[in-house]
Structure 1
Amino acid sequence: MDTFKVVEICAGAGGQALGLEKAGFEHEIAVELDENACDTLSLNRPWWKVAQGDVANPSVWDPATHRDDDIALLAGGVPCPPFSIAGRQLGANDERDLFAWAVEQTEVVGPRALMLENVRGLSMPRFAGYRQHVLDRLTQLGYVAEWKLLHASDFGVPQLRPRFILVALHREDAPYFHWPEPIGTPPTVGETLLDLMKVENNEWPGAEAWAKKANKIAPTIVGGSKKHGGADLGPTRAKRAWAEMGVDALGIANTPPTAKDPVDHIPKLTCEMVARLQGWSMDYPWEFSGRKTARYRQIGNAFPPPVAHAVGAAIMRALKHEGPARVLDNTEHDPLYKTLRSSKDFVTPERLMKAAGINDSAELERRIGLLNRDFHVETRTVGAKTRYKLGDFKAFVGQADHERHDLFLKHRAKIS
């Protein structure tokens, strides 16, 4: 390939897009639901094709149009609420869940590689079956896939921000993929924001002392959604962490502190400051469109550009077959799911408990209950015993009659 094209879905305001561009990928199209985020993408890259609307609606974007375009990478930051620890973790039953659908688009678009990022919650035992279904499906489609939990702070971003990332590549490219290595300790919040707290010719006298107090990295920034009110820096626990660093987390400021503010003033952060904490900088320059709350949500929900750059560069090296070969780890995550999936008949509790190393029947029922949230698990009673069989995956993968369509339209005004 002379040109490494990327199709990006659920592109947001461009954090992943900028990082992938830095890694050498050229955008064929970026698809995003939020109008303000689309305006931001077009503001920064007016030559990109940007499609605004529901990515699963063929009238907004038809994946089949790229089948013959030699796409190197299909990438996206699909919605996080279905897997968020802070939410209900509905997974396949959440109308916002597009993870499984995005995986299916590899068959349609035919990229050499796939990269999807999401919240840490997807890495938890609750979604073991869901994750394994994704790996199995990608294997059927000719890809080798691997999951990895990465921390933004390992890549120079002054923020915790763990992200769970799926990378899949064609079998001939996969051995050359190596996850990026951490680059060292990131700067503190104070070091990162000192210049933005010191407004030229109107300098806040407490800026230097504040920077010394803000000597930690930031907690994970939460952009929120249209379901909630104005912008602030996260839940109660995060607000306490911000308070310890001398930051008022109850809202976002329009401007930095000035010479009129006292030395012991407790500042709020501006959108520009939050963007800096997300990894946008002189090395990753970007502007944001919209009013303050809209800008903050775009910034807060973004994938930090330096992390996207690091993963994108690793994928690029694999596509070019650079470096030593290795074996990717796409091992089974859930023996319970594996046993049910491999059987064409109903399975006894004893067999399931032995396979999963479970000694308590109540624990088996709990685990079956978790699987049943993402899959149809059939039951049959034989005598006094209930037997189990794994049925269809509940997630939306493109079905015309899936309830996702009606639920999406019903909640469209609150989905971001």
Structure 2
Amino acid sequence: MAELSAVEICAGAGGQSLGLELAGFEHALAVELDKNAADTLRANRDWDVQQGDVADEGIWNPKKYVGIDLLAGGVPCPPFSIAGKQLGATDERDLFAWAVELAGKMQPRALLLENVRGLSMPRFSAYRQHVKDRLRDLGYWSDWQLLHASDYGVPQLRPRFVLVAMRHEDAQWFEWPEKAPYEGTVGSALQSLMAVNGWRGAKAWAKKANDIAPTIVGGSKKHGGADLGPTRAKAAWRELGVDPMGVADAPPSASDPVDFMPKLTTEMVSRIQGWGPEPEYEWTFTGRKTTRYRQIGNAFPPPVARAVGTSIANALNHKGEAKALADVENEVMHDHLYLALKDARTALTERELVKLSGERMDSLAFERRMAMLARDFVIDEEEQLGGRAYRLVAFKGFIGQEGHERHVRFAEMRSRIS
């Protein structure tokens, strides 16, 4: 296979980085905001790693990487997280739409962006439509898929919403990776680590931990120390025989009771995320325990990144059998009401918009949808003889504007953004 180059933004501690490397991509650059995660990248690979705000061209110059094979990134999740406020385009951490515009500047052969499942929800249907339409305008085919880590050899559910875009001449060769489900359990994945200090209860514990893990939650600097997630996730961990209230400094020892309920160590958490035990998945994390946990918990599991990266590499190398372009053209419409607004040349009334969208909705449903759209888009309203009329004015999100309010909010929140 031809050697392929990649620029990775919001690289984190290297989950996606390692997976892409194993898929055949050589990093020309990795950019990461968090110093600890950047230090972890440098500790593992001799790459060009730049630490700072990825949207600051004083940190790196996108023009130096025009024509790169792959632009990839795990842009911040909180704007779309179900556990958060789902502020979307008005969240100072939102970089998804900006990354799409970055692809327009850098003209990579392919784009890979991953995020949380929340981005796949109805709340963000118009946001997704905006992204897809913009990529089409830039000359890219694109597709979204919700992937579960457990379907790609990882002992954890971890759903991630993944966007892949590429030029039509390469998209003919693209196929989403075939599933290779994890065949073990949390117990089989962690038994050796639980027993390393002589704990006599490791075997019995592993037998009880007889399912895959719930999603590891890395959290953010806005919240407290390391634990294993919200209430429902904690309950699932207890069912597996794991104390979810924090992360241990070391595995259980020979002096611990056989029926002891252990906490996970950061090494165990990294195993659940897909690092190790195979030598090719070995990785070192720098910093203190809570810092290491956040790096691990916020990562894209390396085996999943490897599977998607291999599919992209195969397409870029025209490996396999090309499909007819019509078979890869993705005409999925995520939000018909948004499209009706977007395509209108003048302000339209509720009745006109509902008719154009082809959707069935009463006035209450229409008002709710418009309120949802107004969270990510500027919509003007005016009174006409036929009733109130609506016009789509602009996207609220940050796409690189020098004067965007994102910069002020980002500067104010800098110490708590992760």
TM-score when scaled to structure 2? 0.97
Between the aligned partners of 1:284 and 1:365, the Cα distance in structure 2 is 50
- Structure 1 position 148, deviation (Å): 0.5
- Whether the aligned pair in 2 keeps the contact of 1:358 and 1:364 (CA below 8 Å) is no
Picking from 263, 288, 303, the partner of 2:258 is 263
Partner residue in 1 for 2:239: 244
- Structure 1 position 391, deviation (Å): 1.2
SS of equivalent residue, structure 1 residue 114: strand
Between the aligned partners of 1:379 and 1:301, the Cα distance in structure 2 is 40
Does residue 1:182 correspond to 2:179, yes or no? Answer: yes
- Structure 1 position 359, deviation (Å): 3.1
Partner residue in 2 for 1:16: 16
Picking from 257, 273, 277, the partner of 2:272 is 277
- Whether the aligned pair in 1 keeps the contact of 2:241 and 2:262 (CA below 8 Å) is yes
Between the aligned partners of 1:3 and 1:245, the Cα distance in structure 2 is 43
Between the aligned partners of 1:134 and 1:378, the Cα distance in structure 2 is 21
More deviation in 137-146 or 344-353?
Answer: 344-353
Task: Please show how residues 162-201 of structure 1 align to structure 2 within 5 Å.
Answer: 162-199=159-196
SS of equivalent residue, structure 2 residue 375: helix
- Whether the aligned pair in 1 keeps the contact of 2:2 and 2:317 (CA below 8 Å) is no
TM-score when scaled to structure 1? 0.97
- Structure 1 position 2, deviation (Å): 4.1
Partner residue in 2 for 1:227: 222
- Structure 1 position 384, deviation (Å): 6.3
Partner residue in 2 for 1:77: 74
Partner residue in 2 for 1:331: 332
One-letter amino acid matched to 1:344: R
One-letter amino acid matched to 1:211: A
Question: Structure 1 unaligned runs (5+)?
Answer: none
Question: Structure 2 unaligned runs (5+)?
Answer: none
One-letter amino acid matched to 1:379: E
- What RMSD over aligned residues (CA atoms) do the two structures have, in Å? 1.1
- Structure 1 position 175, deviation (Å): 1.5
Picking from 109, 114, 117, the partner of 2:111 is 114
- Whether the aligned pair in 2 keeps the contact of 1:78 and 1:97 (CA below 8 Å) is yes
Between the aligned partners of 1:185 and 1:226, the Cα distance in structure 2 is 31
- Structure 1 position 203, deviation (Å): 1.1
Partner residue in 2 for 1:387: 389
- Structure 1 position 62, deviation (Å): 1.6
Does residue 1:93 correspond to 2:95, yes or no? Answer: no
Partner residue in 2 for 1:253: 248
Between the aligned partners of 2:234 and 2:240, the Cα distance in structure 1 is 10
Picking from 208, 215, 229, the partner of 1:213 is 208
- Structure 1 position 358, deviation (Å): 2.6
- Structure 1 position 321, deviation (Å): 1.2
Partner residue in 1 for 2:376: 374
More deviation in 77-86 or 178-187?
Answer: 178-187
Q: Count matched residues.
A: 411
Between the aligned partners of 1:16 and 1:247, the Cα distance in structure 2 is 27
One-letter amino acid matched to 1:189: V
Does residue 1:300 correspond to 2:297, yes or no? Answer: yes
- Structure 1 position 353, deviation (Å): 2.0
Picking from 357, 360, 373, the partner of 2:359 is 357
More deviation in 182-191 or 136-145?
Answer: 182-191
Between the aligned partners of 2:29 and 2:77, the Cα distance in structure 1 is 22
Partner residue in 2 for 1:156: 153
Between the aligned partners of 1:54 and 1:415, the Cα distance in structure 2 is 10
